[in-house]
Amino acid sequence: SLSITSFGSSCRPQIQFADQKQEFNKRPSKIGRRSLSRSISQSSTDSYSSAASYTDSSDDETSPRDKQQKNSKGNGDFCIKNIKQADFGRREIEIAEQEMPALMALRKRAQGEKPLAGAKVVGCTHITAQTAVLMETLSALGAQCRWAACNIYSTQNEVAAALAEGGFSVFAWKGESEDDFWWCIDRCVNVEGWQPNMILDDGGDLTHWIYKKYPNMFKKIKGIVEEIRECSGKLSVPAMNVNDSVTKQKFDNLYCCRESILDGLKRTTDVMFGGKQVVVCGYGEVGKGCCAALKAMGSIVYVTEIDPICALQACMDGFRLVKLNEVIRQVDIVITCTGNKNVVVRENLDRMKNGCIVCNMGHSNTEIDVASLRTPELTWERVRSQVDHVIWPDGKRIVLLAEVHTHTHTHCALALIELYNAPEGRYKQDVYLLPKKMDEYVASLHLPTFDAHLTELSDEQAKYLGLNKNGPFKPNYYRYVKNKVGHQPSPSKPRVHPGFSRQPGL
């Protein structure tokens, strides 16, 4: 799913702000890696990254921060695992370009106009081949970019190497410690002679860091783009929430998750789905995608939901609606897709059957109470990357997985262009939805891939419907499949997100 985290107490970033007394050049202990909230197993990978990554086989334990690195052109403004992997990473990026036709079409159409000329974008997202396509698109449109990872385990080291070889200032590697995580973000932001004027932030940690350490930077920042979890009254610049755009909801959260849930579970556990009993917590777009995929594979699927409309949709789609405690003893897999906190708590974990697989599909790591499992009587075994076994005294074990996660990037590029080029005063210090016209444009960029041909309205038809021939074709409140209570934009303020708390079901 594509997150800005609140500075308020109710939705503060899950990675706690680093102790300002701590010096960045101190080496943390290996235990520190387990303390980082996003590093614990239910929340730390991206479905685009292979579980058997090329970079996982590296035996070099030297911290990238202790290395002197330069690319073939002598540039050393980056910090990655191994610059020698650049060729391999370049091949991955080229493959990703074939799967991102909309972003490539945008690059081709707009690179002559350079709509981001003068933009200085500081980014914090998963460093994957797909992110690399976004970064290179932003560069082609005129922007300068500096980038860090929003997650300590999701970085594809070979992709980071390819970006560094291409001249990008990238500070990320797979398996960062908590100290490394904040150090990389600081290296992106705190650089002499360069100050960002746009932020692209997945999760809000970058925005949080600037807010705490360099608040004066917001005087020159024109806007923030990404998934918004911002609380009202805390923004000092406009922000555009791409997470709730229709095409984001449908493509990433529904269609992509429908595939990534199976792919992520297969890569990490090799589990067979036929006949397995699965409970999916939350029936928003992510939950719908997961349930559809699991049902197609022959799984017996249960759904938990708090929203009666989403609950009714689950029932009409043929799923049994239950409370988690009603099925927790019998299910083989538990998948959280709510964005809420404490969905699966220690009481639930204690009652699970031996071998039960537990994973989180959302970006937030608060859904599964993993902290409650850090007790002396339980034993943790790391069996492979992003897979832990938690063993009870009687020998029962559960399989705890890293999150299965997807992203879309065309919205981010368009939102950056919109905010960067907007006349002064168009956007206030508030959170905005992606304009409907822009949402439709994203969808239109994908259509040539399918050799699809849109029907065009005649002048008479457009007049009859009261529409512009070129769109938008639906009102802002139209959601194509209504599945959330209170999640539609307010008619009185059609472009502004009506509420900033996480809604039930991603």
Q: Are 218 and 140 spatial neighbours (Cβ–Cβ below 8 Å)?
A: no
Work out the angle at residue 193's Cα, subtended by the Cα atoms of residues 189 and 199, and round it to the nearest 5 degrees.
35
Question: Which is more confident, 464 or 173?
Answer: 173
Residues 6+ apart with CB under 8 A from 115: 141, 142, 417, 420, 421
Q: What is the mean pLDDT of residues 440-451?
A: 77
The listed range with the strongest mean pLDDT (51-60, 139-148, 263-272, 424-433) is 139-148
First-residue to last-residue Cα distance in the chain: 8
Task: Take residue 85 and report the two structure tokens written for it.
Answer: 């992997």
Residue 47 lies in a domain: no
264 is in an annotated binding site: no
Residues 258 and 220 reside in one and the same domain:
no
Residue 494 lies in a domain: no
227 is in an annotated binding site: yes
Q: What is the mean pLDDT of residues 180-185?
A: 96
Residue 490, pLDDT above cutoff 60: no
Residue 501, pLDDT above cutoff 70: no
Residue 465 burial class via C-beta count within 10 angstroms: exposed 0-12, middle 13-18, buried 19 and up = exposed
Residues 148 and 222 reside in one and the same domain:
yes
Structural domain for 334, as ranges? 253-401
d(CA 332, CA 356): 5
Residues 328 and 281 reside in one and the same domain:
yes
Residue 379: C-alpha distances to residues 28, 41, 373, 390, 394 (Å): 23, 14, 9, 6, 11
Residues 146 and 236 reside in one and the same domain:
yes
Residues 191 and 207 reside in one and the same domain:
yes
Q: What is the mean pLDDT of residues 362-389?
A: 84
Residue 45 lies in a domain: no
Residue 307: C-alpha distances to residues 293, 359, 482 (Å): 22, 22, 12
Residue 75 lies in a domain: yes
pLDDT at 151: 83
276 is in an annotated binding site: no
How many structural domains is the chain composed of?
Answer: 2
- Ranking 177-186, 234-243, 313-322, 342-351 by mean pLDDT, the lowest is 234-243
Residues 138 and 189 reside in one and the same domain:
yes
pLDDT at 438: 77
Amino acid identity for residue 136 in this structure: E
Task: Take residue 361 and report the two structure tokens written for it.
Answer: 């599909």
Element (H, E) at 358: strand 357-360
23 is in an annotated binding site: no
Q: What is the mean pLDDT of residues 40-57?
A: 36
179 is in an annotated binding site: no
Q: Which of 379, 401, 423 corresponds to the end of one domain? A: 401
285 is in an annotated binding site: yes
Residues 86 and 215 reside in one and the same domain:
yes
Residues 269 and 237 reside in one and the same domain:
no
Question: In 172-254, which ranges are E strands?
Answer: 198-201, 223-226, 228-229, 239-241
The percentage of the chain sitting over the pLDDT mark of 70, rounded to a whole number, equals: 75
165 is in an annotated binding site: no
Q: What is the mean pLDDT of residues 388-401?
A: 94
369 is in an annotated binding site: no
Entry pTM: 0.66
287 is in an annotated binding site: yes
d(CA 247, CA 102): 12
Residue 364 lies in a domain: yes
Q: For residue 451, name the pLDDT band (cuts at 50, 70, 90).
A: confident
3-class SS of residue 52: coil
Residues 88 and 230 reside in one and the same domain:
yes
Place of tokens 């609380």: 231
Residue 354, pLDDT above cutoff 70: yes
Residue 329 lies in a domain: yes
Residue 186, pLDDT above cutoff 50: yes
Residue 497: C-alpha distances to residues 228, 431, 433 (Å): 9, 6, 6
Q: In this structure, how many other beta carbons lie within 10 angstroms of the beta carbon of residue 485?
A: 13
114 is in an annotated binding site: no
Residues 299 and 265 reside in one and the same domain:
yes
3-class SS of residue 156: coil
Q: For residue 240, name the pLDDT band (cuts at 50, 70, 90).
A: confident
